[in-house]
């Protein structure tokens, strides 16, 4: 599961939104979720979100990895690794 924590007012969130959608299409075996930090503040607090966008990579409900910021190259790299690991299981 990939969870993107973002906000409607966040410039970097808007810049990475299309990439996130493209990656969701590229990796249909993974579940992609989006959480608005302003609408789900309590939930975001439980994940200790301090900046947007923040991406959490979960497995069996537990965090495997995290990416803070709109680094498209790093997001693609992490997802390729996770998809490869998921395919082996």
The DSSP line for 32-49 is EEEEETTT-HHHHHHTT-
From 2, 7, 10, 67, active-site residue? 10
- The span from the CA of 42 to the CA of 80, in Å, is 30
* Catalytic residue flag (residue 10): yes
Among 3, 7, 13, 75, the one annotated catalytic? 13
**Any catalytic annotation for residue 13?**
yes
Q: Tokens in use for 30?
A: 């993974």
Number of H helices, E strands in the chain: 3, 4
| Residues with catalytic function | 10, 13
């Amino acid at each position: 599961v990939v969870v993107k924590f973002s906000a409607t007012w966040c410039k970097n969130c808007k810049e990475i939104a299309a990439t996130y959608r493209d990656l969701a299409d590229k990796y249909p075996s993974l579940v992609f979720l989006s959480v608005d930090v302003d609408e789900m503040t309590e939930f975001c607090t439980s994940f200790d979100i301090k900046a947007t966008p923040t991406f959490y990579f979960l497995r069996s409900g537990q965090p495997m990895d995290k990416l803070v910021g709109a680094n498209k190259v790093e997001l693609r790299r992490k997802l390729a690794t996770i998809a490869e690991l998921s395919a082996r299981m």
